[in-house]
Chain A
Amino acid sequence: MEQTTVQGQSNLVREVLEKGICVRCGACVGICPYFQYHDGKVVVSDWCQTSTWRCVQVCPRLPYDRASLYDYFYHVNDCTDAIGPHRQVVAARSGDKLVRSAAQYGGVVTALVIFAMEEGLVNSAVLTDRGGDLAPKGVLCSDREAVLGCAGSRYSASAALSELNLAIQAGNDRLAFIGLPCQMEALGRLSLSEPDGQERAGHVELKIGLFCTWALDYRALRSYLKTKGIVEIPKKYDIPPPPSEVFIVETNNGRMEFPLSEVREIVQPGCSVCEDMTAEFADISVGTLEGDKQWNTVIVRTDKGMELFEKALRAGVLEQKEIPSSNLEHLKEAASNKRKRALRARGEESNE
């Protein structure tokens, strides 16, 4: 990949914000007063004049050398596996029915975060809240109830890394971060950034990634729902696996279905250039298990992830089963397709 020299806030604004490809990961927010996140958008509030630009070094939407992250985290130069470097892929679910009922699918993320906290592996975790009148945002959770309050999928970005930045600045240590593939990329880039990236990333003890095909622009989603007569805050969103092609919104007044083709119109444009579906730079990545709403697909990637996952199984916090080979094939195909679409959108040759 050709490296583009991008210097300074103004270039970040020109190359990302003005091109409309910001994915609201929040990596540039919370480290200075110049970038802010509010109601689903990352904005520039003032012009900065410094010469370090940590914002530029972490943005996952600026061109960067992905191989350097493979090298740093997995000591490989490249990865030909569509779902990224990993130790194992299994189906899993929370052993706790309560957790499962709060969660979108099998409750693995919620269960793992609570377990990591209770085991003392992490002190607290940055997750994404449910949102309300405003878009979802990051929230620092340090107990079971708070984590449970964040269960479920949002289908829109939350810039939760801004909350992580603030938590680190406030002196929090041994943190878990739960986020989308773009956020895991940004966290990965943080480890390689100057002058204090490695130190700041060192405060993150556990990274749990969420599968993501795209996220919706929250402000556009709110307007879309308004045109459909939904003004109250939805309780839950869902996109059942193909071929259903619907977007489901559950509110206190019931359940409504909308054509996915309409909803795709309000996907964040920045998602179209994202090549990562399975959060390749997380310790553990979690997503849906096609065809079985009670379970998750879990990709364990790192030693740290493996250790936690096995410990959780032993403690009965998680249950696992083998993932059907057809599911794994579908997953790889979907991940590969996302990568191909992204490379095409970026005008780059596909490696495959």
Chain B
Amino acid sequence: MNRISQKKGGTRMLLQANEAIARGALEAGVIFAAGYPGNPSSEIIETLAKASRDLPIYVEWSVNEKVALEAATGASFAGCRAICSMKQNGVNVVSDFLTNLSLSGTKGGLVLVSCDDPGGISSTNEEDARAFAPLSDIPLLEPSSPQEALDMARWAFDLSETINNIVMIRSVSRLSHSRSDVQVKDLPDFDVQPYFDTKVSFHTFPIVAKHQARHEKLRMAEELFENSPFNFYRGPSRPELLVIGSGCAVDYAIDAIEIMSLWERVGVLKLGTTWPLPRKLLLENLQKSESILFVEDVDPFIETNVKALAAEAARQVGVKTFHGRGSGDFPLCGELGPSHLLEFFGNYFDLDWKDQEFRNKMGSLTKGKIPPREFGFCPGCPHRGSFYAIKTALAWDDRDGFVSGDIGCYTMGIWPTGFNQVKSVHAMGSGSGIACGYGKLEGFGFDQPVITVCGDSTFFHATIPALVNARFNNADILLVVLDNSATAMTGFQPHPGTGKTAMGQPTQPVDIAALCESMGLEVHVGDPYEMKETARRLYDLMQKQGPRVMVLRRKCALVQGREGGFPYDMHVDQSLCVGEECGCGRYCTRIFRCPGLIWDKEKKKAMIDQVICVGCGICAEICPQGAIKKEAKG
């Protein structure tokens, strides 16, 4: 039995905040969960999927975030509690549905969880998804600890059912992936009977009336927020500086105040309900100090809205001096960290803060001891072979061709590990959409060949419409599907092509090649390890017109490593290796760059890092001297 499924409450568990959100949803009686994987959100659905083995709940990885929220909404309309999770980019994908759904309202408690990635540590963008709460007029909760994540998740369903609208919870990477001791409550019986009451309907008409009703729902939420335990003030009655903030950032502020012994001078208004803002609570607290500091990730969301509030209530609260991201005291971009707070307080109160000294010391101690690492494909990764073949074919073609990229591990094609072939990356499926544009420029004299790439999961998520568009408009696009049979980058979640659901049940896999063929596209299937043959095929396809697809199929190296490993023992015959000399010029370590290939500085020859090399064998093909040898594992 999974501990998340533990029926009995009253105990404490060490939980990651994403697990706590999942547990909170279960304590609220959620029976339906859907999402699309993406860092830092993936563990929510994964945790619930594990719990589905013990509990009568349904969990799915959906084809994309929009479909995930739509599916969860179906459960809500049938009176069930449902949760839907995603990363910040996912909220963009659901936004069209979301802004309409919030007009129609919901029935069973419905909660959307967005886990944002400040700093874009594992994302293609930095984005504050909180903006969608005011855009959609829906309540927004922001936990700042795993315990609060659990409590908010549980309460969010009550709130949703009270106002009959969807509620948004917003976490950030540091919180989603931090663990702490969490108090859990009992799980309910999950004895819900789904039923769609045909006496009611869910749509957006009449629009203005529904819009008005939506604002009324927000007003109800605001009233509840005024007394919410998720908002609290800590500090002196008349602090010199009042900190207002949410999420991890407010914890960093509390830590800094603690470290610098500032509790007699600084007060903190920690907000857990950040849209709509609890107006009365804010006005009451704003009166405590003339100086206000906002701490939040990423955008000045609370800051901007509180400033507006303070302007409206200037007669009541007095003139303020504001500090924060919007006021230029913190950077407008990037993740807020403890150092920012220490530095701010140090400067503001003219204190000697040790943080910079500590960072300098850390830098000098670690200098030269941390090996440089660049973003790179794993040893054995099929993408290395795919990009090598793409690079070769584009070079052969010699018309300054390039790759229109997409989202996945293969986004790293923008870097040397993918031979810098990828020249643009944006949203899921955009690589193919953009390629549709290039594919119609021939009439204007555009003759650079474009290859667009997408992974298997991305193909299902958002590439299909672009491909249909290419077929419809007869765009000259060559799509290479880098099919590694996994949503690899986010942790091997199953997708429509894998033949398995989130709950581990077998399902009919959707065949990418067959689907493309059914659209009347020219489709080829190849093996990324067969680099020369793949390059030849790609070259031939590049000379053709209309929409074409090449599926390069080979399991993710990490999956392959778990499922039987790789066939070869590799070594370099250093008597054949010519190293830096003419004829090679360190081709394997300088150009091919598999981390399993390393440079023997003493002998000035290549060698295999036996710890890193998995034994896929493809580097043997690229050595100009035939010095890289592969032998079948004994």
Mark B168-195 against chain A: 1 for CB-CB distance below 8 A, else 0: 0000000000000000000000000000
User: Is B392 an interface residue when CB atoms closer than 8 A count as contact?
Assistant: yes
User: Is A34 an interface residue when CB atoms closer than 8 A count as contact?
Assistant: yes
| Contact indicator A36/B392 (Cβ below 8 Å) | yes
Stretch in A42-50, A89-97, A285-293, A302-310 with 4+ CB within 8 Å of B: A42-50
Q: How many contacting A-B pairs (Cβ < 8 A)?
A: 52
How many B residues touch A, CB cutoff 8 Å?
A: 20
User: Is A207 an interface residue when CB atoms closer than 8 A count as contact?
Assistant: no
Q: A46 touches which one: B539, B580, B581, B591 (CB < 8 A)?
A: B591
Given contacts A33-B624, A38-B539, A133-B540, contact A45 B585 (CB under 8 A): no
Mark B571-611 against chain A: 1 for CB-CB distance below 8 A, else 0: 00000000011111111001100000000000000000000
What residue in chain B is nearest A56 (Cβ atoms)?
A: B582
A33 to chain B: which residues have CB within 8 Å? 584, 587, 591, 622, 624
| Contact indicator B395/A43 (Cβ below 8 Å) | yes
Q: A48 touches which one: B396, B539, B540, B585 (CB < 8 A)?
A: B585
Q: How large is the interface on A (under 10, 10 to 19, 20 to 34, 35 or more residues)?
A: 20 to 34
Provide the bound-state CA to CA distance between A118 and B234, in Å.
100
Q: B580 touches which one: A44, A50, A133, A195 (CB < 8 A)?
A: A50
| Contact indicator A32/B584 (Cβ below 8 Å) | yes
Given contacts A32-B624, A43-B396, contact A53 B582 (CB under 8 A): yes
A319 to chain B: which residues have CB within 8 Å? none
| Contact indicator B581/A52 (Cβ below 8 Å) | yes
Provide the bound-state CA to CA distance between A204 and B98, in Å.
74
Mark A24-45 against chain B: 1 for CB-CB distance below 8 A, else 0: 0000000111101011010111
Q: A34 touches which one: B391, B398, B585 (CB < 8 A)?
A: B585
B584 to chain A: which residues have CB within 8 Å? 32-33, 50
Mark A140-153 against chain B: 1 for CB-CB distance below 8 A, else 0: 00000000000000
Provide the bound-state CA to CA distance between A170 and B246, in Å.
68
Given contacts A33-B624, A39-B539, contact A45 B392 (CB under 8 A): yes
Mark A207-231 against chain B: 1 for CB-CB distance below 8 A, else 0: 0000000000000000000000000
Provide the bound-state CA to CA distance between A44 and B391, in Å.
11
What residue in chain B is nearest A222 (Cβ atoms)?
A: B543
User: Is A54 an interface residue when CB atoms closer than 8 A count as contact?
Assistant: yes
Provide the bound-state CA to CA distance between A54 and B590, in Å.
20
Provide the bound-state CA to CA distance between A133 and B536, in Å.
12
Q: Pick the most buried of A31, A44, A45: most chain B CB atoms within 10 A of its CB.
A: A45
Minimum CB–CB distance for B193 against chain A, Å: 65
| Contact indicator A50/B395 (Cβ below 8 Å) | no
Given contacts A33-B591, A33-B624, A41-B398, contact A52 B539 (CB under 8 A): no
B540 to chain A: which residues have CB within 8 Å? 133
Provide the bound-state CA to CA distance between A44 and B396, in Å.
8
CB proximity to B under 8 Å, residues A125-140: 133
Provide the bound-state CA to CA distance between A38 and B398, in Å.
10
Minimum CB–CB distance for A169 against chain B, Å: 8
A50 to chain B: which residues have CB within 8 Å? 580-585
Given contacts A33-B622, A34-B585, 10 further A-B contacts (CB under 8 A): A32-B584, A32-B624, A33-B587, A33-B624, A36-B392, A41-B398, A43-B396, A46-B419, A52-B581, A195-B582
| CB-defined A-B contacts under 8 Å, sample of 20 | A31-B582, A31-B583, A32-B587, A33-B587, A33-B622, A33-B624, A36-B392, A38-B539, A39-B396, A39-B539, A41-B396, A43-B396, A45-B395, A46-B419, A48-B585, A50-B581, A50-B585, A52-B582, A54-B582, A54-B583
A residues apposed to B, CB below 8 Å: 31-34, 36, 38-39, 41, 43-46, 48-54, 133, 195
B residues apposed to A, CB below 8 Å: 391-392, 395-396, 398, 419, 539-540, 580-587, 590-591, 622, 624
* 4 smallest beta-carbon distances between A and B, as pairs: A52-B582, A38-B396, A50-B585, A45-B395
